[in-house]
Structure 1
């Protein structure tokens, strides 16, 4: 089993001696040149083929790319010990990996940018980190990014060049505390914030526990980089799904069928696991795995329980950009079915994770101590990091904790996106037609809102409230949109029964519990569709549905044969299209959750 994937910093044996990523790759290329380290299944002319790297080929390809940047005067090799950062904007794939290690070889730290960021967010991150250049994939060059020099990725045919090894200006010990990767938060409370990761936390704090190959759907610009670097330290192989392909059951299984190794672990996020578990082919694949990991967002309890009941060896993993890998629910899978209870393996150590009482109902906030080897951000005077995550202890399993929510108002969707409810609620309350607004959506695919109309507005009916929500959606990113079907208008008489503090402030957690049945009903109706709407001109109706989903993200005209995902349709928009079409076909026929991915154009 791939034990290196569940080993936390508290358990990691410090026995391999690596302290920098350049040292790690060059040493592995010398000691294990022919061992596979990373591979990317890619769909070419209808056939899945693997672009793979051994330690040696990755080292030589990245060295050749580094030389190309030097020859073209795009980037320069390090000549001093100053901090240098270059931004990298590319789909998750082989090109990103080679470019990452080429930039590291030249002495740059790499700001990994998620392509889903807006141009404004990308520009903000580049300014905040003082990035000197933005290396951009050709498919993303159309984005207007201001105030930074943009250079393109090195073509793949350059990877085969036999160039002299680019010398390193700094020794590993001099490099270990300098930034290697710059990740970023999701920007749930505004613009995304950079998080600086020094070389040592991806080498010194990572175990060398060789294991079986694993497959991940998580992109390199998110958690995929963490698992890849764990694999590199552990002399193991990681297969990575390329983000240039739509995430469908058929594509995932096709990509896995092209691998040349026996895959024993599957790593993903809740919404993809849900899609796989609902398809017999996907479920059979998950059942064959020795380990199926979920992370990035809470997996709905009922779904996880059903997966475990059906024989899936499900493990939940907890980590963050600020603190690295913290806990998992790794256990004896045949006898222990408590997949959602994270095990604190740091408890016996002198500086364990701390769980501090917070609020009611036996809830505790997780605090990461200053001494935690992968912690890179502190928000307390003693150097610790208070995560804001609330947990409850298991009644009988020692040091086992279950996630219950946040100390703040962050809503974590099933795709891992984090949305601050407070700004959305404040914006809606600012309307004279709305007295109270309570955003919901934790562990769901999309946001909804409970709305109490104002008693002083004669026009505060459902139509006016939906208009207020539509105006709000025009100012927020697509993943933070509130869908009209998930707007629940409360009767005016409920105003007196909303839970409030002594100062009159709304108590959101209690309100969400109080209206749990109404919220569940809204999602159920949304997912099943109302049924019976007359489509008339089928193609015209589908075109209107698609345009409605796309128009708030970008002003484009969608051709009937255009690929929706090439236009930038994301998972939330795909779900909105599917549910709108479901209302037309009615309850007698259920459209698959991946219908838009499987037929990604109006004509299809």
Structure 2
């Protein structure tokens, strides 16, 4: 087969000015236009890249592999082709793989040379240090504009092989890794040769190949990444059929809006994309009208929502494609009836045969069988030893049109929960299967919120008492739970036993037929998920003594914690042992079923066996236990515990004049606010070095992913440095003591941003981060630079102000000022606000004791989604939860008790950096400088309601009702809410918060912002929340 690099040389000679690709160029102002890259420029860039590879890595030896990871721009095809020219086989690991997945690919392919674009330095560095035995040689490739500059080949510039044998590897892709580590797939030259002739594939009389349309259309906008087989199609199309491709800007997230902008500006004849992006386009007001300008929309990789596909098919053609890394794509025919767009019709030349499954006769698995003329069968080039390829893809035939097949899922065992989480049940089932009392085990949960387990007892134990049987096998279930993430754990209440008369369905070879068994127990499974899961979970507490109630509580907590109960003591905080919100709900239901009065808030407020026993005993007996400590006393005790600063022998040294450039220690950089703060620090000229301290060992990868999701651009490795640790530990838990000493010597400003956000947890659960605030003060005290401390606090630290400071003479308006106030009665009555106040008080005490020179307290209000940048407002927060719940109830509050003084997160980050610098410059105060970071411009919620109703009007009609009535709706649902209802109405989990919001609205609370506005340009330029912002956030939530 002719080498594709020789083909590039020919095209450059014969068609030098023809367009190869349209590449996006984004200006400093954020405007994007597309420039043509010709075949002549392609050859020039290819020569430059191949010369670069030779200069940095040397020529490749036979079958030597070089990996590449980069942003999705023209460098991907350039590296692929240049690697071949330099004698290498290019390996394209997905940036979305786990570190372990990519290490496995490198090890399996014996790859030690790694090219990358600058944006992926953190990932490559992590790979390099994670497996030193690989002796990885990472090399950063030049920027696109450097490669497009005129280049004169030298004698060292490789010419590359003129041809390849059909069974020679040209590139290495990999499987998805859904069921384990990704496996390399060697793509052979014969695949390229087949691609070159695929538009000549014979078809039945009067029929057309789908791929003729895809590969011969004038201009395609491809959203597919080049490390995926879908994207490789469009590289080959641009060479073998000389049809150009449009690329999206690599440094912007591929949003529906960006795709529409690209279509309008570049006028393609077709769009090729994953279904999720097309569905997003359908939701936009101008989506269908823009798509109507295309000849067709092509999708693949997953099913497209029927409603969306039907809408598009009314304005243009919809083509459906399917394939795999191993088999490239399956040749199909264009359908006669556009209404059948969801179906496939196989080209006879494909060799595809539909084999009915043993489990479900309605479903068939697609099998590619080798034909005498295998010219158009890609898979047998990659697997020449096979005679047939079982795809594991399941299809269902059209009810009336024979030969049309609709995708119906995978034969794989993956369970997809209703929240989208995927669970591989095999390992779990095998662990439980190991018990002698168990004949078989099947994990449940398809389409449900949590996993369950169906167990077939062995013949000797059929009909055993359920509780005794589960007691016997429970240690193995706990062992399996310990191996699985929290969302995949099996609770005792979701374990179900088979009936003797209904054993598991098994195939002739003895294996369990999963789908058939699910079908057999369909009614029982649905009943299991609809029932209150907690019946019989704990013994009755009726008439029990305090000791008896404590045993009921202890047993219930052990049941919920599972394997983590090994560390349970009567005074251990269950949330510090790893309990989450779902388990708090589960525990409250167990205790309720025992006859005790308990809800999730009771659990949050009393997270130990001892505290919870007292709480439910008080509720049961209506007697107040003795020695109740007030919350103010609890705060005072914690402040005292972490404020033991000895008196200094001499007064503190006056602060030095500020440096020309500041080094900043940012504690907590990978979250939403942290990411935007990091971006602002990078873009601020006064900032020199940035040290990011995070608990996660994979923080660089998470940070890069966060930046990519928000379109924040590359992270400069020369300026940003990542450390793994936590402030609550000595030396911040850093692995090397010299790292701590180095940070202490270099840091000028500390920004404390890492803080758990849980409005249900009690003060004590925040003790680790409170201790961390004390260690930050010690860090500053021990530094010659005496770094300025900026603490990201919360307005929750002042929300009880109306109750303790407001008098009738003050009228209905309450102004919370920007002065530091140590009063322990001011925080909201929840652990989060109390913890912020306690930490600020500790820092204030450190300042008073002269151990630190300056502190700024930033009381941050409600942070909204980004106004100017990308990034989804966290769907778990109260406002998205309110909206999601309202779209289910079809009822929306017409007003809110609290004012809309929200600050978009990206603008808040700008204010954080402004205030960090300005408060450092004026750091002579003997008390903490305090700023209210809330929006000075307030808008009423009622102003936003019509826009929300209009946004959802095409699919649902939402009624606006008084806020109190909306809360009453939730209260009516809450007592019997199922897990599915909680998923669809997440405000149920925050019911106490919404009730409290209403109860607190006795007066109009406002926050003074004059100090913040005077010290921050971002605050001074802040406007109110607009309908445009609200629409942007709703589009991003996709409720």
Question: What are the equivalent positions in structure 2 for 1:117-136 lying under 5 Å apart?
Answer: 117-136=97-116
Indicate which of 24, 40, 46 corresponds to 1:41.
24
Q: Which residue of 2 aligns with 1:541?
A: none
Cα-to-partner distance string for 1:546-592 (whole Å, 9 max, x where unaligned): xxxxxxxx985536262498552498xx8893255532444145799
Q: Which residue of 2 aligns with 1:170?
A: 161
Stretches of structure 2 that go unaligned for 5 or more consecutive residues are 200-214, 456-465, 532-584, 586-599, 602-666, 679-701, 710-870, 893-947, 953-1028
Q: Distance in 2 between matches of 1:219 and 1:596?
A: 28
1:364 equivalent in alignment to 2:364: yes
Counterparts in 2 of 1:435 and 1:187: CA distance versus 1, 3 Å: closer
Question: What are the equivalent positions in structure 2 for 1:376-525 lying under 5 Å apart?
Answer: 376=380, 382-394=386-398, 396-410=400-414, 420-423=424-427, 437-440=443-446, 449-450=451-452, 455-456=467-468, 472-473=484-485, 490=494, 500-501=504-505, 507-510=513-516, 514=522
Higher Cα radius of gyration: 2
Work out whether residues 425 and 439 of structure 1, in 8 Å CA contact, stay in contact via their aligned partners in 2.
no
Work out whether residues 38 and 238 of structure 1, in 8 Å CA contact, stay in contact via their aligned partners in 2.
yes
Cα-to-partner distance string for 1:372-400 (whole Å, 9 max, x where unaligned): 54115777974321112222333554532
Indicate which of 82, 98, 110 corresponds to 1:102.
82
1:271 equivalent in alignment to 2:315: no
Q: Which residue of 1 aligns with 2:46?
A: 62
Counterparts in 2 of 1:309 and 1:266: CA distance versus 1, 3 Å: closer
1:258 equivalent in alignment to 2:265: yes
Q: Which residue of 2 aligns with 1:551?
A: none
Work out whether residues 65 and 98 of structure 1, in 8 Å CA contact, stay in contact via their aligned partners in 2.
yes
Counterparts in 2 of 1:396 and 1:241: CA distance versus 1, 3 Å: same
Counterparts in 2 of 1:327 and 1:192: CA distance versus 1, 3 Å: same
Is the partner of 1:388 in helix, strand or coil?
A: strand
1:29 equivalent in alignment to 2:12: yes
Counterparts in 2 of 1:116 and 1:400: CA distance versus 1, 3 Å: same
Q: Distance in 2 between matches of 1:236 and 1:375?
A: 25
Q: Distance in 2 between matches of 1:58 and 1:328?
A: 32
Residue correspondences, number: 524
Q: Distance in 1 between matches of 2:668 and 2:384?
A: 44
Q: Which residue of 1 aligns with 2:352?
A: 353
Q: Distance in 2 between matches of 1:308 and 1:158?
A: 39
Stretches of structure 1 that go unaligned for 5 or more consecutive residues are 1-17, 475-480, 523-529, 535-553
Is the partner of 2:330 in helix, strand or coil?
A: strand
Question: What are the equivalent positions in structure 2 for 1:196-345 lying under 5 Å apart?
Answer: 196-207=186-197, 210-222=216-228, 223-259=230-266, 262-300=267-305, 302-303=306-307, 306-308=310-312, 310-328=314-332, 330-332=334-336, 335-345=337-347
Cα-to-partner distance string for 1:230-266 (whole Å, 9 max, x where unaligned): 232111111122453223222222333332xx21211
Q: What is the TM-score of this pair, normalised by structure 2? A: 0.44
Q: Which residue of 2 aligns with 1:6?
A: none
Is the partner of 1:195 in helix, strand or coil?
A: strand
Q: Which has the higher helix share?
A: 2
Q: Using CA pairs below 8 Å that are at least 6 residues apart, which structure has the higher relative contact order? A: 1
Cα-to-partner distance string for 1:82-111 (whole Å, 9 max, x where unaligned): 212110011211232322222222121211
Q: Following TM superposition, by how much is the alpha carbon of 1:217 offset from its aligned partner in structure 2, in angstroms?
A: 1.3
Q: Distance in 2 between matches of 1:377 and 1:595?
A: 52
Q: Distance in 1 between matches of 2:478 and 2:294?
A: 45
Cα-to-partner distance string for 1:40-85 (whole Å, 9 max, x where unaligned): 33544320122542222112112112222333xx12235x6x2121
Work out whether residues 417 and 450 of structure 2, in 8 Å CA contact, stay in contact via their aligned partners in 1.
no
Is the partner of 1:142 in helix, strand or coil?
A: helix
Q: Following TM superposition, by how much is the alpha carbon of 1:221 offset from its aligned partner in structure 2, in angstroms?
A: 0.9
Counterparts in 2 of 1:151 and 1:416: CA distance versus 1, 3 Å: farther
Q: Following TM superposition, by how much is the alpha carbon of 1:466 offset from its aligned partner in structure 2, in angstroms?
A: 12
Work out whether residues 428 and 437 of structure 1, in 8 Å CA contact, stay in contact via their aligned partners in 2.
no
Q: Distance in 2 between matches of 1:418 and 1:32?
A: 48
Counterparts in 2 of 1:323 and 1:163: CA distance versus 1, 3 Å: same
Cα-to-partner distance string for 1:192-226 (whole Å, 9 max, x where unaligned): 00111123312443346642101121111112122
Counterparts in 2 of 1:292 and 1:305: CA distance versus 1, 3 Å: closer
Q: Following TM superposition, by how much is the alpha carbon of 1:137 offset from its aligned partner in structure 2, in angstroms?
A: 1.8
Q: Which residue of 2 aligns with 1:75?
A: 57
Question: What are the equivalent positions in structure 2 for 1:516-595 lying under 5 Å apart?
Answer: 558=671, 560=673, 562-563=675-676, 567-569=704-706, 577-578=874-875, 580-581=877-878, 582-585=880-883, 586-587=885-886, 588=891
Divergent runs of 4+, >6 A = 377-381, 412-419, 427-432, 457-460, 465-471, 486-489, 493-499, 503-506, 515-522, 590-597
Counterparts in 2 of 1:257 and 1:466: CA distance versus 1, 3 Å: farther
Work out whether residues 41 and 51 of structure 1, in 8 Å CA contact, stay in contact via their aligned partners in 2.
yes
Work out whether residues 84 and 132 of structure 1, in 8 Å CA contact, stay in contact via their aligned partners in 2.
no
Q: Following TM superposition, by how much is the alpha carbon of 1:130 offset from its aligned partner in structure 2, in angstroms?
A: 1.8
Q: Following TM superposition, by how much is the alpha carbon of 1:326 offset from its aligned partner in structure 2, in angstroms?
A: 0.6
Q: Distance in 1 between matches of 2:166 and 2:703?
A: 40
Query: More displaced, 138-147 or 315-324?
Result: 138-147
Q: Distance in 1 between matches of 2:137 and 2:152?
A: 26
Work out whether residues 112 and 221 of structure 1, in 8 Å CA contact, stay in contact via their aligned partners in 2.
yes
Counterparts in 2 of 1:29 and 1:63: CA distance versus 1, 3 Å: same
Counterparts in 2 of 1:495 and 1:128: CA distance versus 1, 3 Å: same
Q: Distance in 1 between matches of 2:260 and 2:1032?
A: 14
Work out whether residues 499 and 506 of structure 1, in 8 Å CA contact, stay in contact via their aligned partners in 2.
no
Q: What is the TM-score of this pair, normalised by structure 1? A: 0.73
Q: Distance in 1 between matches of 2:1030 and 2:450?
A: 23
Counterparts in 2 of 1:106 and 1:556: CA distance versus 1, 3 Å: same
Q: Which residue of 1 aligns with 2:149?
A: 160
Counterparts in 2 of 1:201 and 1:561: CA distance versus 1, 3 Å: same
Q: Distance in 2 between matches of 1:241 and 1:381?
A: 39
RMSD over equivalenced CA pairs, Å: 4.6
1:179 equivalent in alignment to 2:186: no
Is the partner of 1:288 in helix, strand or coil?
A: coil
Work out whether residues 88 and 134 of structure 1, in 8 Å CA contact, stay in contact via their aligned partners in 2.
yes
